[in-house]
Amino acid sequence: MGNIYSNAWLTIAAASAGDKGDGLFLPRNLKEKKCKVPIKAGGEEIDFAYLKLISYNSPLELDRRAWTFQEWVLSSRILGFTTEQIKYHCRTCEVWEDGQYQRNTQDLRQILTTPKSPEESRNGPRMLGLLNAWYGCLADFSERNISFMRDRLPAISGLVQLLQQQLPGEYYAGVWKIDIHRGLLWRSDQKGHFGGHLGPSWSWASRAGRISLPFSPTYEDYECSTEDYEEWLEQKRDFRTTILEVEMQYAAPKYESTGIVEHGILRIRGPTRESWVAMADDIKEEGPGWYEYLGRKYYGSSGIDSGTILDLISGSALLLFDGNETQDNALERVVGIGYFDDGGKDGGKDVDSVICLLLTESEGLLLKKRKDNEEQFERIGIFCAYEDAWFEACEARDLSII
């Protein structure tokens, strides 16, 4: 399907259709109230016209469906029929039937549908731009509706197959190996974990609802310079965590790497620390050197920004404390902030301590041992460490994450 849409001269879309039975020509609401405006000539009213307010940014039915996402990304030109008017969309602009016009900002769709020479298609800056654009698209795709959750990865298989022609390395359940340190640091914005064949815990496809990458602000940069690419490479060289092996099992070998995932094990070597978890309201003791936060004083980093404070107030984030000390003393030292995949208070209420696996300079995964196999771990969230020296003395540890 990916080749069909990417090679089509024009894609015609029933943009307001709720399902395949609605078709292109849906009835317009003629009874909707409009603004009556007089038409004057020579100071006299000669006629009148009705004006109707149209929202050009309101999501259409087609924009809510997961399967149509790759159709929109891969098509070079789209003629969309809505209940209000027809619109034309290409990689440079969007034009509505009433004359409304706007230029499109660069995104994954524009990058993929813009012809490139073989030399350009595989150069470093373009490759980094494709990765950044991929992350930017995940938020849109992941919050779309899909009838069968097991189809989440197959619904973007055509897009992935096109990207595989331009990105080196393997692709595992929604994560590109070439940028796996960043690709694993997604955040779930909604409670809920799918059961069945929906991928390993480290894959964003295993979570319900919208996902984002809160620790990677540069993923919004689609036009990357040589300097951006060299900085990205330098950062990767400094990471202490390495991927040892990725073992994947797919439901249908025919669609290997882009289809339904039965099972996935990520074997990884990196520095780890144990951390206690506590809600801000649970900490009541005070002592010398503590800093004030939410009306109380805590000892630790003072680098908590306003956005993180709002996350703590709302309960979507939890404080992490050094677990190598006794638990009582650990509550005196804030070493980082954690985001649980199942969401704040509910997600962390049954967890006393977690394993923090460092992926980048200061961010990583929150893990817990599996109940049925203590030799294996599963992801339960992500974290950002505020103590730069917290992982300095740690030796690398081999872990299997499923």
Total-model pTM: 0.81
Evaluate whether 396 touches 358 at the Cβ level (below 8 Å). no
- Give the residue-averaged pLDDT of 290-299: 45
Exposed / middle / buried, residue 175 (Cβ in 10 Å: 0-12, 13-18, 19+): buried
Residue 293's CB: how many other CB atoms inside 10 A? 17
List, for residues 227-284, the tens digit of each pLDDT value: 888 888 888 888 989 999 999 988 876 667 788 888 899 999 999 998 877 655 544 4
Residue 70 domain-assigned? yes
Residue 299: what pLDDT? Answer: 47
Percent of the chain residues past pLDDT 70, beyond the cut: 71
Number of domains in the chain: 3
Query: Residue 176 belongs to what H/E stretch?
Result: strand 175-176
Residue 255 domain-assigned? no
Residue 184: what pLDDT? Answer: 96
Evaluate whether 362 touches 385 at the Cβ level (below 8 Å). yes
Residue 42 domain-assigned? yes
List, for residues 26-81, the tens digit of each pLDDT value: 887 666 667 888 888 888 888 888 776 666 566 678 888 898 899 888 888 999 99
Residue 256 domain-assigned? no
Give yes or no: residues 229 and 317 share one domain. Answer: no
Give yes or no: residues 87 and 52 share one domain. Answer: yes
Residue 257 domain-assigned? no
- Give the residue-averaged pLDDT of 81-86: 85
Residue 377: what pLDDT? Answer: 96
Of 73-82, 96-105, 200-209, 370-379, give the lowest mean pLDDT range.
96-105
Q: Does the CA dihedral 102-108-112-114 come out positive or negative?
A: positive
Coil/strand/helix, residue 61:
helix
Give yes or no: residues 271 and 397 share one domain. Answer: yes
Give yes or no: residues 74 and 128 share one domain. Answer: no
Contacting residues for 239 by C-beta, under 8 A, at least 6 apart:
181, 359, 360, 361
Q: Could you tell me the pLDDT band of residue 400, with boundaries at 50, 70 and 90?
A: very high
Give yes or no: residues 130 and 235 share one domain. Answer: yes
What is each CA distance from 356 to 54, 124, 189, 378, in whole angstroms? 49, 31, 20, 12
Give yes or no: residues 235 and 117 share one domain. Answer: yes
- The one-character DSSP state at 62 is G
Give yes or no: residues 305 and 208 share one domain. Answer: no
Could you tell me where the DSSP H helices lie in 258-354? 306-314, 327-330, 344-348
Give yes or no: residues 11 and 88 share one domain. Answer: yes
Of 73-87, 117-131, 170-184, give the lowest mean pLDDT range.
117-131
Q: 3-state SS string over 238-277?
A: HCCCEEEEEEEEECCHHHCCCCCEEEEEEEEEEEEEEEEE
What is each CA distance from 116 to 89, 112, 119, 123, in whole angstroms? 21, 9, 8, 11
Using the predicted structure, report yes or no on whether residue 150 has a pLDDT greater than 80.
Answer: yes
Give yes or no: residues 178 and 214 share one domain. Answer: yes
Of 104, 134, 163, which residue constitutes the final position of a domain?
Answer: 104
Give yes or no: residues 151 and 49 share one domain. Answer: no
- Better-predicted residue by pLDDT, 14 or 347: 14
Query: Residue 4 belongs to what H/E stretch?
Result: helix 2-7
Give yes or no: residues 218 and 288 share one domain. Answer: no
Tokens coding 247: 């073992």
Using the predicted structure, report yes or no on whether residue 327 has a pLDDT greater than 60.
Answer: no
Residue 249 domain-assigned? no
Q: Could you tell me the pLDDT band of residue 366, with boundaries at 50, 70 and 90?
A: very high
Quick one: which of 145, 237, 239, 222 has its CA closest to 185? 239
Residue 250 domain-assigned? no
State the average pLDDT for the chain: 78
Between CA 233 and CA 164 the distance in angstroms is 20
> Which structural domain, as residue segments, surrounds residue 371?
267-401
Percent of the chain residues past pLDDT 90, beyond the cut: 21
Residue 259 domain-assigned? no
**DSSP letter string over 216-241?**
-GGGG--S--HHHHHHHHHHHHH---
Residue 345: what pLDDT? Answer: 47
Give yes or no: residues 92 and 196 share one domain. Answer: no
Instruction: Say how far residue 265 (Cα) sits from the centre of its chain.
Output: 21
